[in-house]
Amino acid sequence: MTKLYQKSEITFAILWIAAYVVLSSYADQLSESIGIVKSATAVLQIAMSLILFFWIRSNNLSEKYGFCKSKVPAKYFLYYLPLVIIASTAFWGGFGLQYGFPDTLMYMISMCCVGFLEEVIFRGLLFRAMEKDNLKKAIIVSSLTFGIGHIVNLFNGSGRDPASSVIQVIFAVLVGFVLVLIFYYGKSLVPCIIFHSANNALKVFEADGSFSLQIEMVMNLVVIFVVLGGYVFYLVKVFPEKAK
């Protein structure tokens, strides 16, 4: 694994992305046959997370990939309050429990691993590999990869109407843009991993059908344009000068 990384960081990142996507897909199918949500997926993703974590540590790459405290005080990132607001949307419609105990536990473990793996692979491996040659391109690609997984909802009959799916994709891309900027400026992936994991895991407690489709779309638009849009503007225009 180390030899491949030394030969080509881009190839290394792409292979990890492919392995993560393909193996997680098969594990989801196996989980369904077992009858416990994310059971096989959680086991797989725990193993992948441990392999990646200890490989980075053993090769003295922890600082490069953000396994460290942020170099910038939290106050300059507005104490990450926009991310807290986004994660809190799971409870805006009330508190619910979608599964029983074993399913909920497996789901939360899997989602925490997803937060770790996707941030390390996309914001860490891929972004760092591309950053050396073209920073703007690296930021754009890292942001888009966060939204790619949501684009399939436009075509796969997931139950979402096209307008909701488009909003979801825009939301995911903007979140990816925010996270890569936080990593780039702060040199720490820890805030990104914590937010990503929490935002995913808390969805299991979301009350189903709390809002009508119209109200949900309006709320999503408010989050996108007010919270995310404002935070993107701050990170791009205000932060670089304020943090000097």
Q: What is the mean pLDDT of residues 147-160?
A: 54
Six-digit token string for 14: 């792409």
Residue-wise pLDDT tens digits, 157-215: 444 566 666 777 788 889 999 999 999 999 999 999 999 999 999 989 887 666 666 66
Residue-wise pLDDT tens digits, 51-67: 999 999 999 999 999 99
How many Cα atoms are found within 13 Å in the side-chain-facing hemisphere of 159? 1
Q: Residues 77, 190: contact at Cβ < 8 Å?
A: no
Reduced to 3 states, what is the DSSP secondary structure of residue 244?
coil
**95 has which bridge partners?**
206
- Nearest alpha-carbon partner for 66 in 133, 135, 119: 119
Please report where in the chains the tokens 């009959």 appear, as a residue: 157
| Domain chopping of the chain, boundaries | 2-242
- Nearest alpha-carbon partner for 186 in 63, 18, 72, 74: 72
Cα dihedral: 164, 178, 150, 40 (round 10):
-130
pTM, full prediction: 0.91
Q: Is the pLDDT of residue 117 over 60?
A: yes
Alpha-helical segments (H) within 59-161: 81-88, 101-118, 127-131, 135-151
- Rounded to 5 degrees, φ, ψ at 192 are -65, -45
